[in-house]
Amino acid sequence: MSHITDAGLLRAQAERRDAALRLARRPGLRLTLLPGRKVRIEGEASPEVVAAVREHRAELCEFLEGHRCLACGGGLAGRDDVPVEGGGYVHSYCPGSRRG
């Protein structure tokens, strides 16, 4: 693979992660991780939102399982991460954490 293709793939992954983060933060929408990496939608969700959740399920699971910060989207190391009500974690220094 060339570096151009690699950059294109990285950009596409970052865009998917950003879209998933916007979904996870959406007001009035609560996403819950179920067994088998299924994502339950609680709250008002239009058909477009339901389709977006299905499309970005893998990225949403990264947030809900605690692999990525729900505040900034960065990777979590697990040392000083703060759980978020409803699932997921944030860095202790990010806005939205109890200590941040």
Give the pLDDT score at 99: 46
Give the pLDDT score at 86: 74
Instruction: Split the chain (100 residues) into runs of 10 and give each run's mean pLDDT.
Output: 71 94 91 94 91 96 92 83 83 68
Give the pLDDT score at 95: 72
Integer Cα distance of 67 and 60 in angstroms = 10
Give the pLDDT score at 2: 52
- For the chain, the residue count is 100
Beta partners for residue 68, in sequence order = 75
In this prediction the pTM is 0.83
Give the pLDDT score at 69: 92
At 66, which amino acid appears?
A: G
Q: What are phi and psi of 19, to 5 degrees?
A: -65, -40
Domain boundaries, the chain: 3-91
Integer Cα distance of 57 and 42 in angstroms = 15
